[in-house]
C-alpha cells in the first residue's frame, strides 16, 4: 500500500452529470486520484464483499484512469471490481451491471457528448447501488471532502490486462473483466418484443443507427444486427474511437450530419437513430421527419402498453423542467402523475426507486425507464421499434396522430456555446433581478403570468434544489426558460428553451422556428442576449 501526500484541488465541483474537465486537467498529478479518494472517503469503509463497477465510453485517457482506479479500489478494501472489456461500459450498461450484480456502486468515466482526445474532455462520476447517479447530497459531500483531503491510497501492482475476459487478483481484490454488452443486451431482450421487431425488419423495414464512433457501436451491432437480424452495415460509425473520429458525439440535427443527410435524402430508410458518447442519449428520425425528444417521451408513454415490460401500464412520468409539457398531457389522459424535476438524470432516481414513475425524459435527447437508473439511448430506439412493429405505421404518421389527439407542443432549444462566463452569469443575474417585475407585462403580444428561478423539492426525501433556471410562463401556456449548462469545460453555454402549445390540428404544419418566432424574439429582448453575449445567433438550434 502506498500513501501519497496531496494538496486539495479546488475546481472539483461536479456539474449536471459528474466532474468534467479537459484531459490535460485530469492528467495533472493527483487530480483524478483526489477525486476518487474523495468518493471513497465519502462512502466510508466498505465490506470485504463490496463490488465496484468500473467502465467508460472509451475516450482518450479511459484506460489510464481505470488502472489508477483499480489500484485505489484495492487499497480501499473493495472485494471485487467488475470492469468492462477494453475499459468499455456504456452509461446505461454500467447502471444495468450495478443493479444486476448488487454492486455497492460504480465509477463511470465519460464526458458524454463532449468531444474526446488529448486536447478535449474527460469526466468521471459516481453511481450508487441503485445504479443511478449519486444524489446531490452525496456529490456535495464528495466535493467538500475533495477540498479537505491530504492523502490518497493505492496499492503497488502491475497494470491489469483490460482486454482479456476473466479474473485476476490485485492485492486482496479480484478484478473481473466482463463482456460489456451481454448483460445489457439480455436486459433489452427481456423488455421488448424482439420477435415482432425481427418480423418488422424481415418484412423489409429499413433502419440506420449512427453510433458516432462512440460507445454504442458494439451494443448496437449485437442487438440490432445480430439479435434482431438487421443487415450488416445498419450500424454506421460503429467502432468506438478515442477521439470519436474528431467529431462531437452528440446526437442532434447539427452533429449527426451523416445520418441526418441520409434520413432527409432520396430513398431514406424508414427509421434512423443516433446515440451519444456514453450511450445514454438518443435521437429518433423517421423518413424526412425529426422527432423532438419531448415528443418522443410523450409518444412512448402513450404507446407503452404495446411493449411487454410496460404492458400493465406505467406508474407515472417525470420530465426535466425545460422539457416540453407534451408528456404531461399523456399522463393526465392516463390518470398517472407527471413530475417536473431540475435538469440532470440524478433527480429521477428517488422517484423511480419509490415506484412513483416508470418513464422519464429530458429535452436533451434523453429518455429512459425504471429498467435502469440512467437515461438509455438504445432502449429508446428499441421501444420505438417495438411500437412501430406493433402499430405498422410510419414514424411520421404516429407522431402526427399523436398531435391530432393531444395537440402539438412546438418546442426548440437555442444554445449559445463558448460565451464568456462573466457575461453569461450577468445575463442570468439580470433575469433574476427583473423576474419580480415581469408578471402582467405584455411582451411581443404574450402576457407574462409568472416568472421565477425554478426550485425543486424532492417528494421522496424533501431535499431542495434551488436556482435551476429562470422560467417565464405566459397566460396562454407558452414559456421561455433560461439556464446555464453544467456540463461544459470552457466558458459558459447559455441554453434558451422555447415552447408554445397549439391545440388546432390545422395549424400543426408550421416550421418550428416560424411557429416560435415571436417567443424567440422576446426571449432575446428580455434577456438582452445580443448585447450581453455579443452573439446575434445561437450556435446550435434543436
Kindly state the smallest distance separating residue 189's Cβ from ligand VG1, in Å. 24
Q: Binding to ligand VG1 by residue 487, rule CB under 6 A?
A: yes
Q: Binding to ligand VG1 by residue 280, rule CB under 6 A?
A: yes
Kindly state the smallest distance separating residue 486's Cβ from ligand VG1, in Å. 4
Q: Binding to ligand VG1 by residue 12, rule CB under 6 A?
A: no
**Cβ-based nearer residue to ligand VG1, 281 or 479:** 281
- Which of 92, 366, 469, 524 touches ligand VG1 by CB under 6 A? 366
Partner interacting with residue 366 (select from ligand VG1, Co ion, none; CB below 5-8 Å by kind)? ligand VG1
- Which of 275, 364, 386, 412 touches ligand VG1 by CB under 6 A? 364
> From residue 354, how far is each of 130, 210, 214 by CA, in Å?
11, 35, 33
- CA–CA distance, 197 with 201 (Å, rounded to integer): 6
- CA–CA distance, 470 with 196 (Å, rounded to integer): 44
Q: Binding to ligand VG1 by residue 59, rule CB under 6 A?
A: no
**Cβ-based nearer residue to ligand VG1, 343 or 367:** 343
Q: Binding to Co ion by residue 112, rule CB under 5 A?
A: yes
Q: Binding to ligand VG1 by residue 276, rule CB under 6 A?
A: yes
Q: Binding to ligand VG1 by residue 112, rule CB under 6 A?
A: yes
**Cβ-based nearer residue to ligand VG1, 74 or 481:** 481
Kindly state the smallest distance separating residue 495's Cβ from ligand VG1, in Å. 6
C-alpha cell belonging to residue 493: 453555454
Q: Binding to Co ion by residue 363, rule CB under 5 A?
A: no
112 carries an active-site annotation: yes
- CA–CA distance, 346 with 16 (Å, rounded to integer): 9
- CA–CA distance, 157 with 428 (Å, rounded to integer): 49
Partner interacting with residue 345 (select from ligand VG1, Co ion, none; CB below 5-8 Å by kind)? ligand VG1
Stretch that binds Co ion, among 114-122, 274-282, 334-342, 501-509 (CB under 5 A): 274-282
Q: Is 53 helix (H, G, I), strand (E, B) or coil?
A: strand
User: To which residue does cell 445480430 refer?
Assistant: 226
Burial classification of residue 143, based on how many CB atoms lie within 10 Å of its CB (0-12 exposed, 13-18 middle, 19 or more buried): middle
Q: Binding to Co ion by residue 276, rule CB under 5 A?
A: yes
Q: Binding to Co ion by residue 127, rule CB under 5 A?
A: no
Closest residue by beta carbon to Co ion: 112
- CA–CA distance, 238 with 73 (Å, rounded to integer): 32
**Cβ-based nearer residue to ligand VG1, 194 or 347:** 347
Other CB atoms within a 10 A radius of the CB of residue 10 amount to 8
Q: Binding to ligand VG1 by residue 8, rule CB under 6 A?
A: no
- Count of residues in contact with ligand VG1, rule CB under 6 A: 18
Question: 517: which residues sit within 8 A by CB, 6+ positions away?
Answer: none
> From residue 417, how far is each of 113, 311, 318, 345 by CA, in Å?
14, 42, 27, 22
Kindly state the smallest distance separating residue 84's Cβ from Co ion, in Å. 16
Do the strands 408-419 and 456-457 form a parallel or antiparallel pair, or are they unpaired? unpaired
DSSP string over 166-233: EEEEETTEEEEEE-TTHHHHHHHHHHS-HHHHHHHHHTT--EEEE-TTSTHHHHHIIIIIIIS-PPTT
Catalytic residue from among 17, 112, 146, 324:
112
Of residues 492, 413, 489, the one with CA closest to residue 115:
489
Burial classification of residue 166, based on how many CB atoms lie within 10 Å of its CB (0-12 exposed, 13-18 middle, 19 or more buried): exposed
Partner interacting with residue 362 (select from Co ion, ligand VG1, none; CB below 5-8 Å by kind)? ligand VG1
- CA–CA distance, 383 with 296 (Å, rounded to integer): 10
**Cβ-based nearer residue to Co ion, 289 or 348:** 348
Q: Mind telling me the catalytic residues?
A: 112
Where do contacts with ligand VG1 occur on this chain (CB under 6 A)? Answer: 16-17, 112-113, 276, 280-281, 320, 343-345, 362, 364, 366, 485-487, 495
Where do contacts with Co ion occur on this chain (CB under 5 A)? Answer: 112, 276, 278, 280
Amino acid at each position: 500500500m502506498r500513501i501519497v501526500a496531496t494538496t486539495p484541488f479546488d475546481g472539483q465541483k461536479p456539474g449536471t452529470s459528474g466532474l468534467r474537465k479537459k484531459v490535460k486537467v485530469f492528467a495533472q498529478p493527483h487530480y483524478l486520484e483526489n477525486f476518487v479518494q474523495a468518493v471513497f472517503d465519502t462512502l466510508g469503509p466498505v465490506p470485504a464483499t463490496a463490488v465496484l463497477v468500473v467502465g467508460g465510453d472509451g475516450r482518450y485517457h479511459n484506460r489510464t484512469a481505470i488502472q489508477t482506479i483499480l489500484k485505489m479500489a484495492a487499497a480501499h478494501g473493495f472485494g471485487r471490481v467488475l470492469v468492462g472489456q477494453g475499459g468499455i461500459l456504456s452509461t446505461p450498461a454500467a447502471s444495468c451491471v450495478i443493479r444486476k450484480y448488487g454492486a455497492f456502486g460504480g465509477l463511470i468515466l465519460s464526458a458524454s457528448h463532449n468531444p474526446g482526445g488529448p486536447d478535449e474532455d474527460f469526466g468521471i462520476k459516481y453511481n450508487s447501488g441503485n445504479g443511478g447517479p449519486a444524489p446531490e447530497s452525496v456529490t456535495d459531500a464528495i466535493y467538500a471532502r475533495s477540498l479537505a483531503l491530504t492523502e490518497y491510497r493505492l496499492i503497488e501492482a502491475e497494470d491489469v490486462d483490460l482486454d482479456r475476459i476473466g479474473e485476476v487478483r490485485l492485492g486482496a481484490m479480484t478484478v473481473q473483466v466482463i463482456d460489456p454488452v451481454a448483460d445489457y443486451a439480455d436486459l433489452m431482450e427481456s423488455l421488448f418484443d424482439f420477435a415482432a421487431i425481427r418480423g418488422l425488419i424481415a418484412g423489409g423495414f429499413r433502419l440506420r443507427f449512427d453510433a458516432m464512433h462512440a460507445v454504442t457501436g458494439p451494443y448496437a451491432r449485437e442487438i440490432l444486427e445480430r439479435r434482431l437480424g438487421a443487415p450488416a452495415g445498419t450500424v454506421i460509425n460503429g467502432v468506438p474511437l478515442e477521439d470519436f473520429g474528431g467529431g462531437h458525439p452528440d446526437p442532434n440535427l447539427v452533429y449527426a450530419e451523416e445520418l441526418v443527410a441520409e434520413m432527409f435524402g432520396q430513398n431514406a430508410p424508414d427509421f434512423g437513430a443516433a446515440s451519444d458518447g456514453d450511450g445514454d442519449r438518443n435521437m429518433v428520425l423517421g423518413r424526412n421527419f425529426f422527432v423532438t425528444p419531448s415528443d418522443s417521451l410523450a409518444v412512448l408513454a402513450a404507446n407503452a402498453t404495446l411493449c411487454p415490460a410496460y404492458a400493465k401500464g406505467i406508474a407515472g412520468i417525470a420530465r426535466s423542467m425545460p422539457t416540453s409539457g407534451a408528456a404531461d398531457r399523456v399522463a393526465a389522459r392516463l390518470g398517472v402523475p407527471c413530475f417536473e424535476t431540475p435538469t440532470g438524470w440524478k433527480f429521477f432516481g428517488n422517484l423511480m426507486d419509490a415506484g412513483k414513475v416508470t418513464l422519464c425524459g429530458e429535452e436533451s435527447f434523453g429518455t429512459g425507464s425504471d429498467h435502469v437508473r440512467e437515461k438509455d439511448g438504445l432502449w429508446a430506439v428499441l421501444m420505438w421499434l417495438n411500437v412501430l412493429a406493433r402499430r405498422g405505421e410510419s414514424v411520421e404518421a404516429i407522431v402526427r396522430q399523436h398531435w391530432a389527439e393531444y395537440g402539438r407542443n412546438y418546442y426548440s432549444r437555442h444554445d449559445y456555446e463558448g460565451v464568456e462566463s462573466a457575461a453569461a452569469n450577468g445575463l442570468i443575474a439580470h433575469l433574476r433581478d427583473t423576474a419580480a417585475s415581469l408578471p402582467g407585462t405584455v411582451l411581443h403580444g404574450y402576457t407574462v403570468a409568472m416568472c421565477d428561478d425554478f426550485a425543486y423539492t424532492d417528494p421522496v426525501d424533501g431535499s431542495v434544489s434551488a436556482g435551476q433556471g429562470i422560467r417565464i410562463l405566459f397566460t396562454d401556456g407558452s414559456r421561455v426558460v433560461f439556464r446555464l449548462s453544467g456540463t461544459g469545460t470552457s466558458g459558459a453555454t447559455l441554453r434558451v428553451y422555447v415552447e408554445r402549445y397549439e391545440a388546432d390540428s390545422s395549424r400543426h404544419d408550421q416550421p418550428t422556428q416560424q411557429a416560435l418566432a415571436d417567443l424567440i424574439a422576446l426571449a432575446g429582448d428580455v434577456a438582452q442576449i445580443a448585447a450581453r453575449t455579443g452573439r446575434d445567433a445561437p450556435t446550435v438550434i434543436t
